[in-house]
A = this chain, B = another copy of it.
Amino acid sequence: MRTVTIADVAKHAGVAVSTVSYVLSGKRAISATTRQRVLESVRTLGYHPNAGARALASKRANVIALVLPLRAGMNLPVLMQFATSVVTTARQYDHDVLLMTADEGPDGLRRVAASALVDGLLLMDVEIHDPRVPLLRELTEPSVLIGFPADPEGLTCVDLDFARAGALCVDHLVDLGHREIALLGAPRVVYERGTGFAERTMAGFADEMRRRGLVPDARPCEESFDEVYEAVKLLLEERPGVSGIVVHNESAAGHVLGALRMLGRRVPEDVSVVAICPDDVAERAGPALTSVLIPAGDVGDQAVRLLMAKLDGQQVPQSTLLQPRLTVRESTR
């Protein structure tokens, strides 16, 4: 069962190889009748263009690299949602996705780019001082980053507007009448790593609090139940008047509710809680959490569109911030 080549299709349809190619690519006008004949031959023979040959001749692999962080502590659901939307959107542009892990480092990127395995790169979870950023600048292949390095000059970056997300939580709680509000953030290590999004949320939270004439109180928060419990307990002891809590830590969100329950605080009667997390986590919690959505799907989608535009030679904005959206559920009042 030899595989079907373009030559087989050409012979079957009684045309030249180049004609088949033009029918398939649409790069030259072909008469309707010929086109039909060719397409039918393609169908009956079950022809699939050889990817390698196509890449070699056209200098386009129609594959993009998706570089995901794999270190533990990543926000898995968000990551998966993101990956899924990247693959789905890429397919809409007739591209496939090569999966890479961040631990291949700059060398891995150089390898796939230089070998023409991929036409462009999508990097998730870029850090403030990311060793891969200088490389991306010198690569001829276009790239799109999720997250912001210290200096985004000359790059294309996409992210959720985390500062706005933090502010949004404040707005919601203050509008409900709460005055004493605290933020429980990501584990300390995340801030130390300098991924950016955690700081930006805190900053947005703090700025908005101050703008409203209130005193911000923001703290990192670990992820195990016991540590969350201790953090909540400490918070309530130090600031007994706290009536609003913003949680920017997906794994901890459920534990915060459990801790409050154990500490005799009812949600939302005594304390209102807003989380910044995916919808499914918010809905699964008891009570269901009012939350600001991390639109991972939109981010992936948008990132692919930007990359495709760059591959197309178009100019794209250096920075794209996606607007967060707050959904009211049962945990705030």
Contacts and interface: CB of A to CB of B under 8 A. Distances in A.
Interface of A: 1, 3, 46, 48-56, 61, 63, 66, 70, 72, 74, 76-77, 79-80, 83-84, 87-88, 91, 96-101, 103-104, 110-112, 114-117, 140, 223-226, 229, 251, 254-255, 257-258, 261-262, 280, 283-286
B48 A52 contact: no
A61 B51 contact: yes
B98 A63 contact: yes
Instruction: Give the secondary structure class of A's interface.
Output: helix
B97 A99 contact: yes
A284 B52 CA distance: 46
Nearest to A3: B114
A30 to B, nearest CB: 22
Contacts of A91: 104
Contacts of A99: 66, 83, 87, 97-99
A116 B224 contact: no
B101 A84 contact: yes
A89 to B, nearest CB: 11
A51 B110 CA distance: 13
A103 to B, nearest CB: 8
Given A76-B77, A87-B99, A101-B84, A48 B115 contact: yes
Nearest to A57: B52
Contact of A286 (B50, B63, B100, B224): B224
A169 B163 CA distance: 46
Contacts of A56: 50, 52-53, 56
A115 B50 contact: yes
A280 B112 CA distance: 32
Given A225-B285, A225-B286, A226-B286, 18 more contacts: A1-B140, A48-B110, A48-B114, A48-B115, A49-B115, A52-B55, A63-B98, A72-B280, A79-B80, A83-B99, A96-B100, A96-B117, A97-B98, A97-B100, A224-B283, A225-B257, A258-B258, A258-B261
